[in-house]
Each structure stands twice: as C-alpha cells, then as structure tokens.
Amino acid sequence: MSKSVAGPEIEKLIQLLARVPGLGPRSARRAALHLIKKKEQVLTPLAEAMAVARDSVTVCTTCGNVDTRDPCTICTDPRRDNAVIIVVEDVADLWALERASAMNCLYHVLGGTLSPLDGIGPDDLNIKSLVERVSAGGVKEIIIAVNATVEGQTTAHYITDQLDGLDISITRLAHGVPVGGELDYLDEGTLTAALRSRTTL
C-alpha cells in the first residue's frame, strides 16, 4: 500500500475504487481525484446512483437477470415472444444479446458453467429452474447461447440432456467468421466451422 497522503476517507475511497473491474490501484487514485474535484457533477450523482442500486437492485427469480423489479422488465414485457428462451451464462451475455436487438424473446441466466475442477456442479447453476420453466409449457424453442468454451459446451450438452423428452427445439448459436473479422487472425477451429456452415450467395 502506498503512503497515505490525503486522510483515511480518501484512501478508503481509492482502495474501494481499485476493486472495480477496469480500474487498478493507479487508475483508482486518478478516478478518486477526479470524483473529488468534480464533486457536484460526478461524485454526488454517482454516490446517489450507487445507493439507489444498492437498495433497489434484485435478481429476477424467473430468469436470473438483475433489475430493480422481480420479475424483471424483460420477463414482464408483454411485447416479447414467450415461446423462445435464450440460455446464457451470465447477465453480461444477456445484456450483449439485448444490445444486438436480434431477438425479442425471454432469457434464462445460468450463473456460470459446469466446471467440476472448480467444484461447480448442476445444482450450483440455474438449470433446475430452466427445466421447470420449460416443463410449465408454452416454450417452443431454447437457444443455448453459452460461450464457445469447453465448459460452455459441456453445460450445453448437460442442458440438452435435461430437456430431453420435452416437445421443444433446442438450438445453439452459429459458429463462423465474426462480422468485420479478418480470416488471417482467426483460429483453425473457427475457419473449419465457417467452411462447414457455408451458405449460398
């Protein structure tokens, strides 16, 4: 820890800011100074927004999204297609897919992936609640949008097994060349997948 230069209150603010992802010890100091200098414009509204988030943000018991209400804004949106559920690992993935605005459906946040080495089994993820949601009826398609990692694919297979026997279609995201991506920088696995799934022009 560096020498304290500005009283324990500011040092504490710096230490806590350093725990925010994207900020390290050095940038936390810079951020703290900026916040203090822009007390009215930045520090005060940010402190208030954090207090509001602390008091009001909750996890949706239906889908696992974070929101200020439960069920969340997405689950209660009447304009969404209730027949399709996209299964994601994390809320960040849900947000990313929402930003893409490609689908107007529901989500289910697993809260991670199966990882026996880290001691994460099926009971640690929101898999049971997914099976219950689907079993309750009305769902026609489950899009498994987990990351293209070993753990993600293992989890996808496990979920497929659990949903076996239910009258729904289970799909996954397509593999291929990212839009704007250069072939030269892509790995062989992606190129192979892109070639296999080639489409007619």
Give residues in contact with a second copy (CB under 8 A): 2-3, 5-7, 9-10, 12-13, 16-17, 19-23, 27-37, 39, 42-47, 49-54, 56-57, 65-69, 72-74, 91-92, 94-95, 98-99, 101
* Calpha distance 30→151 (Å, rounded): 38
CB of 17 to a second copy, least distance (A): 7
Q: Which is nearer to a second copy, 16 or 150 (CB)?
A: 16
Which 8-state DSSP code applies to residue 180?
Answer: T
CB of 176 to a second copy, least distance (A): 23
Q: Are 172 and 156 in contact (CB under 8 A)?
A: yes
CB of 77 to a second copy, least distance (A): 11
Q: Which is nearer to a second copy, 40 or 188 (CB)?
A: 40
Q: Are 171 and 142 in contact (CB under 8 A)?
A: yes
Q: Which is nearer to a second copy, 65 or 163 (CB)?
A: 65
Which 8-state DSSP code applies to residue 102?
Answer: -
Burial class (CB in 10 A: 0-12, 13-18, 19+), 37: exposed
Tell me the two tokens of residue 28.
Answer: 């936390």
CB of 65 to a second copy, least distance (A): 7
